[in-house]
């Protein structure tokens, strides 16, 4: 059985930005395949060493994306992510797409080339608050289903 | 900025609509006539964020956590300046282990911030790559080394601050919880590796081709009687200023310019000044340990260094210092009796300045007898450096005109990145003027 990992990215205090972490909570309430690593990240740059060290592992990333309608779920490949409009790399970190691109450049045969991204659409968080909006909270079980299918598929 | 130079016929405009590899949203316009720049505008269109206004009425204890949200990579700096200013108002002075833990936390942030800038943002400029992803294909080991160094800094902030981004363990008077020595000792192997990696990287970076530019900056930084400055010291300049932090407002002024959402600082009755790694090094190189001074000298770096392109070397020297200081603090750490000091609120105004990775960060708060914030002023490093950055570009203009447009544009962007500007931090307004048609 191949190794598996689910990575959630987000900040719990930034409202719907925390949806990736909420999906991890949901997965932990369910039966995930034995041995699946569940990893929480606040800074996408930490994806780089993670994806490098997880060569051979099936990795699914769960994150929020700005979009509408809120709660919609899309699945993206690394290519689809990198085909998005170019994002300037902040001097304060790397975005998820840049972090995956960097990991792929560093380890062309590593997990970064096969990572799948389950993205949940959110509206831009207007202020710091704990908890998800009703539309995004409703998407959490569906996103968890999608993650499980990818882990087992 | 005002027009300069004689009228010539040939004009050329270098326009960078969206500056990459700086934080926040900014653009740059340079108008050249002949070999002279007639106009340089570093435009900051990141929207204003009103942090000073939203602090009013909040309890003083909230200021470190609110202001840390100004920045995702230097939250510690905002927490430290807020704590020092409010402790000044309350008459508190954390010493001993509390003071050492603050220096340790700051060391973590410098490693994290400088590591990202040196390896992922600035090195590609010198090696001729558009970004770190392209650089990683040929220099993978170097990028991995940089990420590992950065991670060692993150680990300090995560352990001591409770989490990597926007740490939650800092409070006015100290920390909510002081770590056990054994916890801190788990960091030592990576920190010792990081110190060695800095030395090796510095040798590598010293071989870069540094575009020639000599600037006669007025450098401004904190200066402490013994230490290379993180948290404490007098505000000094290379042209003789030597002030208590309380006198900052009397000597520095922020002004609004139409092309920028950030306030721009200058010395009252004077002009531009530079803060940040280059200024700190130029004013405090003698406060580095003999080992780190030898490292700097080995890389050909001596104070004063006036070439802003060499700031990448200074950041590596400061990383080495931060690794060395973190190791020293952990090895000598004896936990404090209590993790924080406390005092009853009183009506007062407090002043604090610390050295953020990008330079001097000044906070001032007035609080009432219940401890509610009446007034707040925050001056981040990028506001202070904006004028100096524009003047760098004025002086660089002679080189830019001789380069093809693409190369000139790249060189101009590189010159901005020399100062690692944090545009999000710089964007704030004391007053907003709305013009309607």
> DSSP string spanning B296-332?
HHHTT--SSP--GGGHHHHHHHHHHHHHHHHHHHHHH
Structure tokens at A146: 């999608």
CB pair distance less than 8 Å for A11 and B165: yes
Whole-model pTM: value is 0.85
H or E segment at B223?
A: strand B220-223
Q: Is A102 on the interface with B (CB under 8 A)?
A: yes
What is the residue whose two structure tokens read 């020092």? B84
Measured at the alpha carbon of residue B47, what is the angle toward residues B43 and B52, in degrees to the nearest 5?
115
Residue B84 has pLDDT above 90, yes or no: yes
For residue B17, what pLDDT is reported? Answer: 54
| B144-158: pLDDT as tens digits | 999 999 999 999 999
Reported as a pLDDT band with limits 50, 70 and 90, residue B380 is confident
Helices (H), B58-187: 63-68, 75-90, 96-116, 123-127, 132-138, 140-161, 181-185
The minimum CA-CA distance between B225 and chain A, rounded to whole Å, is 32
Measure Cα distances from B20 to B17, B161, B223, B374 in Å.
9, 30, 33, 38
For residue B383, what pLDDT is reported? Answer: 82
| CA separation for the pair A5, B220 (Å, rounded) | 48
Which among A43, A88, A91 has CB closest to B165? A43
B69 interaction partners in chain A (CB closer than 8 Å): 128
Which one of B20, B111, B133 makes the best mutation probe of the A interface by having the most chain A beta carbons within 10 Å?
A: B133
CB pair distance less than 8 Å for B164 and A105: no
CB pair distance less than 8 Å for B72 and A93: yes
Which one of B131, B357, B419 makes the best mutation probe of the A interface by having the most chain A beta carbons within 10 Å?
A: B131
What is the residue whose two structure tokens read 């690692």? B420
Structure tokens at A73: 């779920």
Report the candidate in B208, B184, B431 with the shortest Cα–Cα distance to residue B314: B208
Q: Is A43 on the interface with B (CB under 8 A)?
A: yes
A46 interaction partners in chain B (CB closer than 8 Å): 151, 154
For residue B98, what pLDDT is reported? Answer: 97
Residue B97 has pLDDT above 90, yes or no: yes
B151 interaction partners in chain A (CB closer than 8 Å): 46, 49
Reported as a pLDDT band with limits 50, 70 and 90, residue B399 is confident
| B179-236: pLDDT as tens digits | 999 999 999 999 999 999 999 999 999 999 999 999 999 999 999 999 999 999 999 9
What is the pLDDT averaged over residues B389-396? 88
For residue A69, what pLDDT is reported? Answer: 87
B254/A143: higher pLDDT = A143
What is the pLDDT averaged over residues A76-105? 68
Q: Is A91 on the interface with B (CB under 8 A)?
A: yes
Report the candidate in B63, B110, B28 with the shortest Cα–Cα distance to residue B416: B28
A92 interaction partners in chain B (CB closer than 8 Å): 23, 71-73, 116, 422, 424
The minimum CA-CA distance between A88 and chain B, rounded to whole Å, is 5
Number of Cβ within a 10 Å radius of residue B437: 2
Question: A with B: how many residue pairs have Cβ under 8 Å apart?
Answer: 76
B116 interaction partners in chain A (CB closer than 8 Å): 45, 91-93
CB pair distance less than 8 Å for B420 and A91: yes
Which among B69, B143, B163 has CB closest to A106? B143
Do the beta carbons of residue B143 and residue B135 sit within 8 Å?
yes
Of all residues in chain A, the one with the smallest CA distance to B421 is A91
B417 interaction partners in chain A (CB closer than 8 Å): 91
Do the beta carbons of residue B114 and residue B316 sit within 8 Å?
yes
The minimum CA-CA distance between A47 and chain B, rounded to whole Å, is 11
Reported as a pLDDT band with limits 50, 70 and 90, residue B7 is very low
Q: If DSSP codes are grouped into helix, strand and coil, which group holds residue B287?
A: helix
CB pair distance less than 8 Å for B73 and A98: no
A128 interaction partners in chain B (CB closer than 8 Å): 69
Structure tokens at B147: 């990420």
Q: Give the DSSP letter of residue B237.
A: E
Q: What is the 3-state secondary structure (H, E, C) of chain A?
A: CCCEEEEEECCCCEHHHHHHHHHHHHHHHCCCCCCCEEEEECCHHHHHHHHHHCCCCEEEEEEEEECCCCCCEEEECHHHHHCCCCCCCCCCCCCHHHHHHHHHHHCCCCHHHCCEEEEEEECCCCCCECCCCHHHHHHHHHHHHHHHHHHHC
B20 interaction partners in chain A (CB closer than 8 Å): 88-89
Q: Give the DSSP letter of residue B256.
A: -
A89 interaction partners in chain B (CB closer than 8 Å): 20-21, 120-121, 131-132
Of all residues in chain B, the one with the smallest CA distance to A108 is B137
Q: Give the DSSP letter of residue B222.
A: E
For residue B321, what pLDDT is reported? Answer: 98
């Amino acid at each position: 059985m191949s190794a598996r990992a689910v990575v959630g990215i987000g900040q719990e205090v930034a409202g719907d930005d925390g949806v990736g972490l909420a999906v991890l909570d949901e997965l932990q309430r369910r039966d995930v395949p034995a041995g699946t690593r569940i990893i929480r990240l606040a800074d996408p740059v930490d994806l780089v060493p993670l994806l490098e060290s997880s060569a051979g592992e099936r990795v699914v990333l769960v994150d929020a994306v700005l979009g509408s309608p809120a709660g919609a779920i899309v699945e993206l490949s690394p290519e689809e992510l990198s085909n998005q409009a170019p994002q300037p790399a902040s001097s304060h970190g790397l975005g998820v797409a840049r972090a995956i691109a960097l990991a792929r450049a560093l380890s062309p045969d590593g997990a970064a080339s096969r990572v799948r991204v389950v993205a949940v659409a959110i509206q831009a968080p207007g202020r710091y608050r704990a908890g998800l909006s009703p539309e995004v909270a409703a998407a959490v079980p569906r996103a968890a289903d999608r993650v499980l299918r990818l882990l087992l598929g | 900025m005002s027009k300069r130079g004689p009228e010539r016929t040939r004009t050329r405009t270098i326009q960078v609509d969206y500056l990459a590899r700086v934080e926040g949203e900014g653009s740059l316009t340079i108008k050249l006539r002949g070999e002279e720049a007639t106009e340089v505008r570093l435009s900051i269109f990141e929207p204003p964020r009103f942090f000073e206004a939203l602090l009013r009425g909040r309890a003083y204890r909230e200021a470190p956590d609110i202001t840390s949200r100004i920045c995702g990579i230097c939250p510690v700096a905002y927490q430290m300046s807020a704590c020092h200013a409010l402790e000044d108002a309350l008459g508190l002075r954390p010493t001993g282990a509390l003071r050492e833990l603050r220096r340790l936390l700051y060391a973590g942030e410098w490693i994290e911030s400088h590591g990202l800038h040196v390896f992922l943002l600035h090195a590609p400029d010198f090696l001729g790559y558009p970004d770190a992803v392209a650089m990683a294909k040929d220099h993978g080991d170097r990028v991995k080394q940089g990420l590992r160094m950065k991670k060692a800094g993150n680990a300090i902030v995560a352990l001591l601050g409770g989490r990597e981004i926007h740490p939650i363990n800092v409070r006015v008077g100290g920390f909510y919880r002081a770590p056990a020595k054994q916890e801190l000792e788990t960091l030592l192997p990576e920190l010792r590796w990081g110190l060695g990696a800095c030395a090796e990287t510095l040798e590598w970076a010293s071989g870069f081709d540094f575009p020639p530019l000599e600037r006669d900056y007025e450098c401004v930084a904190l200066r402490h009687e013994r230490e290379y400055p993180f948290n404490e010291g007098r505000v000094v300049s290379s042209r003789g200023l030597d002030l208590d932090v309380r006198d900052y407002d009397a000597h520095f002024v922020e002004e609004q310019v139409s092309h920028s959402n950030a306030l721009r600082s200058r010395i009252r009755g004077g002009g531009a000044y530079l803060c940040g790694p280059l200024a700190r090094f130029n004013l405090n190189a003698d406060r580095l340990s003999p080992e780190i001074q030898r490292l700097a000298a080995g890389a050909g770096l001596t104070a004063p260094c006036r070439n802003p392109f060499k700031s990448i070397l200074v950041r590596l020297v400061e990383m080495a210092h931060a690794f060395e200081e973190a190791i020293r603090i952990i090895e000598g750490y004896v936990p404090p009796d209590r993790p924080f000091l406390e005092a009853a609120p009183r009506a007062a105004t407090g002043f604090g300045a610390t050295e953020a990775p990008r330079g001097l960060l000044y906070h001032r708060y007035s609080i009432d007898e219940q401890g509610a914030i009446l007034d707040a002023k925050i001056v981040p490093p990028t506001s202070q450096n904006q004028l100096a950055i524009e003047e760098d570009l004025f002086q660089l203009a002679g080189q830019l005109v001789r380069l093809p447009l693409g190369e000139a544009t790249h060189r101009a962007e590189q010159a901005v990145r020399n100062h690692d500007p944090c545009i999000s931090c710089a964007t704030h307004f004391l007053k907003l003027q709305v013009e309607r048609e």
